[in-house]
Amino acid sequence: MNTVEILEQLQHDARKDDVLRKTLLDTQTAVDPLREFCSICRRLGYELYEMEVVNAGEEFYASMRRSTNGGGENSPLLDGEDDFYELFMAGLK
């Protein structure tokens, strides 16, 4: 499974399991939220690391920018679109 598939599976699982959902949402208050989130994911059997989440978001965002207006300087700025952790959390709320 790639990073996006793992996040989709986790979100699906968390929507069905209130304890898992709360555990994942609680990572937002940790000193290092993404590190805590990935640590929990690994304990659940999902090999997910911080840089994988960051890179997946950046690659997705870069792909989106390339697809709009030629992907150059005139591409729209999409705030937060490259932060898969925050998007994941927003999907759980």
Structure pTM? 0.75
Domain boundaries in the chain?
3-67+78-92
CA angle 72, 75, 76 (to 5 degrees): 160
d(CA 74, CA 70): 8
Helix, strand, coil share of the chain (percent; to 5): 70, 0, 30
Query: How far, rounded to the nearest angstrom, does the alpha carbon of residue 17 sit from its chain's CA centroid?
Result: 19
pLDDT in tens, 14-30: 999 999 999 999 999 99
What does the pLDDT look like over 46-93, one tens digit per residue?
A: 999 998 888 875 565 555 555 555 555 555 555 545 577 888 898 888
For the CA atoms of 24, 89, 4, 34, the dihedral, rounded to the nearest 10 degrees, stands at -60
